[in-house]
Chains A and B, each alone.
Chain A
Amino acid sequence: AQKITQTQPGMFVQEKEAVTLDCTYDTSDPSYGLFWYKQPSSGEMIFLIYQGSYDQQNATEGRYSLNFQKARKSANLVISASQLGDSAMYFCAMREVGYTGANSKLTFGKGITLSVRP
């Protein structure tokens, strides 16, 4: 089974509106971390936000917030007040504690393309 699932093929949002990018995950580890990255056309992976499995509150970073629903194993990214510069590909990723040590690695979803319309 896929560990990270991002099924939305592409999303469009009007500038200044909010948008939610979906991410579901699959793990049997009780301790894990969830990450969201943005990749604009330049190719650089930009870290946006992190959510730990034991965190009681949803993570927020500026216009980004993570809607973490542990029981449903979902970690959706919410971008408020979309800007034209938000147009990019967005990746959800997970690191499981079962891969502890220096070699623990991120597992990425397939990504979602977001286009912000003026």
Chain B
Amino acid sequence: GAVVSQHPSWVICKSGTSVKIECRSLDFQATTMFWYRQFPKQSLMLMATSNEGSKATYEQGVEKDKFLINHASLTLSTLTVTSAHPEDSSFYICSARDIAGTVTDTQYFGPGTRLTVL
């Protein structure tokens, strides 16, 4: 299957700093990438949808200025957690689709990034 990579796999940072997470589709072009957040033993919560070359669409309740998303190319999307606080500590997962617009597209997920804010 298609491969999606995420970097870093884990990060620890101090409160108030910013953290950037990269998501890459390795063997396909992803016109659309999704960013999720997951708390322990819970389901994935969609944060935003990013399309290459355009602004991301954020889900209700997700702060746009807090979670900056950039989808600069067909293989790379980045999530920047700005001025991180302990409550931002979570598991962040990106996902990509290699064909846009059909209900049958399989969505492939990255391995996730565990963020811990001290």
Contacts and interface: CB of A to CB of B under 8 A. Distances in A.
6 contacts: A37-B109, A43-B38, A103-B49, A103-B51, A105-B49, A108-B44
B42 A102 contact: no
A43 B114 contact: yes
B111 interface: yes
Interface of A: 31-33, 35, 37, 42-47, 50, 52, 89, 91, 95-97, 100-106, 108-111, 113
A105 B114 contact: no
Contact of A43 (B42, B51, B108, B111): B111
A43 B93 contact: yes
B103 A103 contact: no
A8 B104 CA distance: 27
Q: Among A35, A45, A47, which residue has the most Cβ atoms of chain B within 10 A? A: A45
Contacts of A89: 41
A42 B9 CA distance: 10
Given A43-B91, A50-B106, A102-B49, 19 more contacts: A33-B104, A43-B93, A45-B93, A47-B1, A47-B109, A50-B104, A52-B103, A91-B44, A96-B103, A100-B102, A101-B101, A102-B31, A102-B51, A102-B97, A102-B101, A104-B101, A106-B34, A106-B46, A109-B43
B84 to A, nearest CB: 19
Nearest to B95: A45
Interface residues of B, number: 31
A103 B95 contact: no
Interface string B35-49: 000100111101001
Nearest to B54: A102
Contact of A97 (B41, B51, B97, B103): B103
B92 to A, nearest CB: 10
A102 B114 contact: no
Interface string B77-102: 00000000000000101010100111
